[in-house]
Structures are given as C-alpha cells and as structure tokens.
C-alpha cells in the first residue's frame, strides 16, 4: 500500500512540474490597460436619437505601447435610474482617421470619445459602461507598419502592395504639376477626381509640385494612417491637408480623396508609410467604468 502511495505522490509531483513548465512556456502577458472617464457631453435633440459623448482615457503598460485605440464596443451602459444607454449603431465607435497623421498622443495618454444614448434628464450618473477596447500597436515585425517605395513613379495607377490587396485597400496617387497636363480620366475614380478639381487639373493651385493628391478606398476601416517619407525614411513635413468623399451615394466611387500640402516638393523617391490594422497588431481588452457624474 505504501508503495502505491509513493508512486501516486511521484505522479502528482511530475504532473505539477509539467503544469509549471507549460505555464512558463506561454507568451508573456500583453500588459494591463486602465480606463477612466473624462468629460461627458449630452447632445440632446428633439428626435429620438439624442446622444451622449463620453471621453475615455487609456493608461497602463499596454496603452503606453499602443499608437491608438482603433475600436470600442459598448456591451453594457446604464444610468443610475436603470435606463439602457447602449448605442444602437456600434459602427459609430470605430476610429476613422483615414489617412490622418498617425501616433498623436496628448499628455502621453490615449484618448477615445464614445457615444451612448442620452441618459434620463433627472439621472445624476452614468452608473456603468462595460465593453471591449481594441488597441493598435504597429511594428514592422507584426505587419502593422510598412513602407512602399517610389510611390510617385507611376501616377494615376493603383499602388500595388500585397498587404493592401489582402484587406481590400485601394490607394491611387494622382499626377502633380506638369504631369497633370496629360491627365485623362479613364474610370469612375479619375472622373470623380476631375469633378472635384472643377475640370481645371492644370491650373488649379492644389496641383503644385508641393502637393500630393490621392484616393483611398478602405471598406473595412483598416488604414490607421498614411504618411509620406523621403527615400531615407524621414517623414515629410506637412503644412496642411484636406479631404472629401468620393460621392458613392451619387454614383461615384466609395472611397475618399485627400491631399497633403508639404513644406517643399516631395523627392522623386518618396515612400508611402502605412499603418494598417492587421490582426497581429491588434489586442482587445475588456473594461468597466462606473459612477460617471453627469453634467
């Protein structure tokens, strides 16, 4: 009997050692995220779709390493009177920064504004907000950040890139300066661009050598940012930017036209620096925020 007891103890010890070994073989923890609420703005209207804006601030190890908060999904939200505040359209919570300059942080803290349904007028608190936050941490290794060389070489052609193609992202750069004299619209995107320029491709002041105009179609909102750099990888200084929709509702292309105005003409070997929300660059964290005072 004692022999069997010893064998059983040895088996338990071996099993415990195996479990400990497997534990240490697991990847390191992804870090922590702490979320607190900031300002609350109640945007009431006479319609049934009155909304409430809530600032969320993200801190902690994981937030420190992240470039931005790509998406917030609200699963539970209620005021202190028990009214459901979960917004009816979750897609409104998606970050849409295409293709603004990337990596902007304020006071070294990530910030995201989310929308809820308006609380009752006599409510004093948003009692609880629960949900999931998707943080974007791009690197060259995880595929979230990459460069495409010589993007000015073939204007008025879609940029060829495997990662962009995989996620259905279309980017087209239009001719600049003297090159625009030979611009002839060949498809709906070109025609929409010509209409946007008022039919004055050559003489329009936005077609100077210091401006890059381009079109982006990003149906799944994967593009976090697009920037331009010189051949050595140094970002070009941007003086201004603008955008307009492609006019999909009116029969035009579904994407967006943008322009960047640079401090000096971009070099011929300019590169496109892309931040793309690929799965390996994303990490989702559950969160709960409670007892948020109403204004």
Residue 2: inside a domain, yes or no? Answer: no
pLDDT higher than threshold 60 for residue 104: no
Please check whether residue 174 is in contact with residue 196, taking contact to mean a CB–CB distance below 8 angstroms.
no
Is the domain of 40 the same as that of 74? Answer: yes
Residue 20: inside a domain, yes or no? Answer: no
123-133 residue pLDDT tens:
999 999 999 99
pLDDT above 90 as % of the chain = 45
For the segment 30-57, the average pLDDT, to the nearest whole number, is 81
For the segment 266-278, the average pLDDT, to the nearest whole number, is 95
166-225 residue pLDDT tens:
999 999 999 876 666 667 778 888 888 877 766 544 444 545 788 898 999 999 999 999
Is the domain of 262 the same as that of 246? Answer: yes
**Domain count within the chain:** 2
User: In Å, how far are 135, 215, 216, 241, 259 from 174, measured between CA atoms?
Assistant: 33, 8, 11, 15, 10
Q: How far apart are alpha carbons 215 and 185 in whole angstroms?
A: 14
Is the domain of 149 the same as that of 267? Answer: yes
Is the domain of 121 the same as that of 39? Answer: yes
- pTM for the full predicted model: 0.75
Q: How far apart are alpha carbons 130 and 77 in whole angstroms?
A: 6
Is the domain of 92 the same as that of 127? Answer: yes
pLDDT higher than threshold 60 for residue 71: yes
Residue 266, domain extent: 145-276
Is the domain of 270 the same as that of 164? Answer: yes
Is the domain of 156 the same as that of 119? Answer: no
Is the domain of 270 the same as that of 284? Answer: no
Is the domain of 39 the same as that of 122? Answer: yes
pLDDT higher than threshold 90 for residue 63: no
Is the domain of 157 the same as that of 223? Answer: yes
Position 90 scores a pLDDT of 53
113-168 residue pLDDT tens:
889 999 998 999 999 999 999 999 999 999 999 999 999 998 888 999 999 999 99
Mean pLDDT of the chain: 79
Residue 216: inside a domain, yes or no? Answer: yes
Model confidence band, residue 7 (pLDDT cutoffs 50, 70, 90): low
Residues shown for the chain: 295
pLDDT higher than threshold 60 for residue 105: no
């Amino acid at each position: 009997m004692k022999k069997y007891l010893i064998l059983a103890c040895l088996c338990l010890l071996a099993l415990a050692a195996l479990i400990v070994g497997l534990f240490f073989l697991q990847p390191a923890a992804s870090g922590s995220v702490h979320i607190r609420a900031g300002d609350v703005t109640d945007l009431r209207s006479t319609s049934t779709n009155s909304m409430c804006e809530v600032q969320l601030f993200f801190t902690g190890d994981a937030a420190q390493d992240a470039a931005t908060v790509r998406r917030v999904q609200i699963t539970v939200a209620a005021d202190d009177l028990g009214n459901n505040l979960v917004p009816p359209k979750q897609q409104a919570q998606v970050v849409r920064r295409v293709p603004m300059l990337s990596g902007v942080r304020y006071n070294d803290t990530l910030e995201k504004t989310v929308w809820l349904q308006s609380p009752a007028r006599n409510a004093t608190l948003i009692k609880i907000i629960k949900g999931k936050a998707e943080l974007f941490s791009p690197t060259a290794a995880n595929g979230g950040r990459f460069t495409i060389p010589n993007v000015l070489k073939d204007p008025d052609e879609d940029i060829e890139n495997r990662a962009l193609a995989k996620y259905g992202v279309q980017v087209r750069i239009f001719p600049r300066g003297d090159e625009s004299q030979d611009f002839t619209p060949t498809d709906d995107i070109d025609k929409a661009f010509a209409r946007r320029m008022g039919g004055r491709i050559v003489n329009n002041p936005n077609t100077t050598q210091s401006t890059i105009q381009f079109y982006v179609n990003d149906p799944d909102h994967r593009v976090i940012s697009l920037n331009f750099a010189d051949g050595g990888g140094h970002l070009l200084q941007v003086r201004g930017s603008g955008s307009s929709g492609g006019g999909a509702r009116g029969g035009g292309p579904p994407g967006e036209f943008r322009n960047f105005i640079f401090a000096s003409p971009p070099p011929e070997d300019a590169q496109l620096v892309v931040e793309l929300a690929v799965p390996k660059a994303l990490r989702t964290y559950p969160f709960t925020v409670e007892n948020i005072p109403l204004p």
